[in-house]
Structure 1
Amino acid sequence: MKKLQLLFALIFSVLSVTAQNKLDQDREAIKSLAGFYKVTFNYAETFSPNDDYKFHERHRSSAKEIAIILEETPKKIVIQHLLVMRGDSMIIKHWREDWTYEDTQILAYDKENAWKKVTLSANDVKGKWTQKVFQVDDSPRYQAIGSWVHVDGRHQWQSNTDSPLPRRESTERNDYNVLNRGNNLYLTANGWMFEQDNKKIIRSESGDKLVAMEKGLEEFIKTDPKSFGYAQTWWKQQEGFWKDARATWDVVFAENNYIKLNLKIDNKLLYEQFFALGDQSAKEKWSSEKNKENIKKVIDAYLAKKAS
């Protein structure tokens, strides 16, 4: 009996060490997404079930980005992206990604700028990481669950989830209202790749209808940090405001099982309000209390009537 107990204890110990090593590998892979990059964006529609469908032109662009780790705990890593334009003279707060481990709660995109809170079982998320992607104003975008795989020197994470239209098409198209994203993120020798197999869908009460499929490649190539000096200075001036923005949004997420946001109030988009507040806060050195008060007023104005 003692030998059997010792055997079980040894097996449990080996499994625990293996799981911890896997978690450490996952964390290192996620942390390596931060850095200084030249980014290229390439998208092309590949298929449509409609013979009369007119394929849209391919999208190609490039930019410079800095990705900064804002928060790091054993089961959460927060990375903020900043878009660097006109050399290093114009900075735009870009998207944010929160990575959470074995997280049982997500905001799932529905349609028409609305998200529903979904609770998952512990088995559904065991050993998995959720990538929570937020818009430039820290409002929700999409949240996806997947496992990091580390095999033969390859480090890869895959997921599938729904999201709003991409910014490159949100002001130009109205023939679909949901982007079903097939996300494949993997590290490369000089950075990382975000490969996508997307479905453009019309979602209605009768169900989902496929409009077209799309291939996307976003390549992040490491570049010289020296060209990001102003970006880092700019963020130091702004980071207090955006820390308060994240905290304020977290309260909103906690208090609501369904969130729907109006696209415009007084003919202004939500991010325009946030960017203006951020600049004013940095200039006038607002307190955290004043930041949160002003941010909450803006969010409340854009929150649409909640679903019953």
Structure 2
Amino acid sequence: MKKQITLFSGALLLAFSLQGQGLKDQDRKAIKSMCGCYEVSFEYAETFSPIEGYEKKPGYRASALEWVELLEDGENRISLQHVLVVNDSTAIKHWRQDWEYESPASFAFVGDNTWDFHQTPSPNLRGTWTQKVYQVDDSPRYAGSATWIHADGKHYWENATPSPLPRREYTKRSDYNVMVRGNRHEITEYGWVHEQDNEKIIRESDQKDQLIAQEKGWNIYRKVDDAQCALARTWWQENHPFWDEVRAAWDTLYQREGQLNLAREVDGKPLYVHLSQLEEKDAKRKEIAALFSRFASEDRSGVGK
């Protein structure tokens, strides 16, 4: 009887393993299906505030053509780079999203241009994918973990995580300092949708977060012929060696546990301006890393912890 139980347990574990691999293959297919050329519409509107007399801010609406490049296609790591096409004449490096399977290493935005890098206990990671989102200069933005859901013909991933203010507001507003992003990525028959249920909050030390407004967001990616993104594809082919060096320099800086605080400006210029100047001179990793060390605050970054 003991032998029979052992054989049954082994068969059950094998069945679960095969089932898990099948789900993982579906996950990878869903993530990689976000690559290609898209017409994108961006729409945001505030929906609710608990503050009496709060005046809702105007909604935001924009559209763009965007190329999503498959940078890395590993078994446990998939990286996607977004490149915008502006006025059919200019390509601009946009955000990047990395997807890591059952990855213990992650980071969380805590406010004041500071991120906490940490390790998640392995029992909490089974079947999860961590999405790490990076800004145009490949500095951190936000990260969150969840499982992909494949049910009733739907394929989606959703998570809520703190982040800096969105680019559409961070130069215009000072009445809140953290956005808790409710992110839902769903694959559709026409492309994919990045649906958001966001909370705009005031976060201060030793005090409870204060919600000032909630917001609904719809970023709809409609697949079009790849030829429409030829400009972005060519730009990336010509410029990716420099950005490969930038990512490698960041990866070295990200190997930490503890906080990373980044200065908003050095010598009166934000990081992306410095990087643009380095890109023009085709700078290499050592020079890029030296620039990053000027932006990373030694006394608050957790270096050496």
Q: TM-score, normalised by structure 1?
A: 0.94
Find the counterpart in structure 2 of residue 113 from structure 1: 113
User: 1:20-48 CA deviation, whole Å, 9 max, x = no partner?
Assistant: 10111111111111111011000000111
Picking from 280, 293, 301, the partner of 2:286 is 293
Alignment correspondent of 2:162: 162
1:67 — aligned with what?
68
Alignment of 1:249-268 (within 5 A): 249-255=250-256, 257-268=258-269
Provide the secondary structure at the position in 2 that maps to 1:110.
strand
The question of 1:274 aligning with 2:275 is answered yes
Aligned to 1:180: 180
* 1-structure distance, mates of 2:280, 2:190: 34
As a proportion of its length, which structure holds more helix? 1
User: How large is the Cα RMSD of the aligned pairs?
Assistant: 1.2
TM-fit CA distance, 1:255: 4.1
Structure 2 CA distance for aligned equivalents of residues 199 and 255 of structure 1: 29
3-state SS of 2:215 partner: strand
State the match for 2:33 in structure 1.
32
Q: Distance in 2 between matches of 1:118 and 1:34?
A: 29
Letter in 1 for 2:192: W
Aligned to 2:226: 225
Q: Please say if residues 119 and 257 of structure 2, whose CA atoms lie closer than 8 Å, have aligned partners that are also in contact.
A: no
Residue by residue, what CA displacement relative to the aligned partner does 1:226-247 show, whole Å, maximum 9, x if unpaired? 1222211111111111111111
- 2:85 matches 1:92: no
Identify unmatched segments of 5+ residues in structure 2. none
- Superposed displacement of residue 159, structure 1: 0.5
Q: For residues 133 and 193 of structure 1, do their structure 2 counterparts lie closer, same or farther at Cα, with a shift above 3 Å needed?
A: same
Say if 1:238 and 1:279, in contact at 8 Å, map to a contact too: no
SS of match in other structure, 2:284: helix
Paired amino acid for 1:215? K
3-state DSSP of counterpart to 1:169: coil
Counterpart contact for 1:163–1:180, Cα < 8 Å:
yes
Ranges of 4+ aligned residues in structure 1 off by more than 6 Å: none
Partner deviation per Cα, 1:100-140 (whole Å, 9 max, x = no partner) = 01111211100011001122111211110000000000000
How many aligned residue pairs are there?
299
Aligned residue runs from structure 1 range 132-147, under 5 A: 132-147=132-147
Identity rate, percent: 41
Structure 2: how far apart are the matches of 1:306 and 1:156? Answer: 40
Residue type of the partner of 1:223? V
Where does residue 295 of structure 2 map in the other structure? 302
**d(CA) in 1 for partners of 2:275, 2:253:** 16
Assess, with a 3 A threshold, how the Cα gap between structure 1 residues 255 and 10 changes in structure 2: closer, same or farther: closer
**Corresponding position: 1:199 with 2:192:** no
Q: Mean alpha-carbon deviation: is it higher for 226-235 or for 243-252?
A: 226-235
Indicate the SS of the match to 1:167.
Answer: coil
Deviations 1:239-267 (A, max 9, x none): 11111111100000114621111111222
Aligned-partner residue type, residue 154 of structure 2: R
Give the residue type in structure 2 aligned to 1:199. Answer: E
Distance (whole Å) between structure 2 residues aligned to residue 171 and residue 256 of structure 1: 30
d(CA) in 2 for partners of 1:270, 1:225: 31
Q: Take 1:80 and 1:170, find their aligned partners in 2: how far apart are those partners?
A: 23
Amino acid at match of 1:299: F
Q: Distance in 1 between matches of 2:158 and 2:128?
A: 10
SS, match of residue 5 in structure 1 = helix
User: Which one-letter code corresponds to 1:66 in the other structure?
Assistant: W
Residue 151 (str. 1) matches residue 144 (str. 2): no
Q: Which amino acid aligns with 1:233?
A: T
More deviation in 209-218 or 220-229?
220-229
Amino acid at match of 1:142: Y
Determine the C-alpha separation between the residues in 2 that align with 1:118 and 1:257. Answer: 7
C-alpha contact 1:117 1:257 (8 A) present in aligned 2: yes
For 1:264 and 1:3, the matched residues in 2 are separated by 67
What SS does structure 2 have at the residue aligned with 1:265? coil
CA distance in 1, matches of 2:277, 2:257: 26
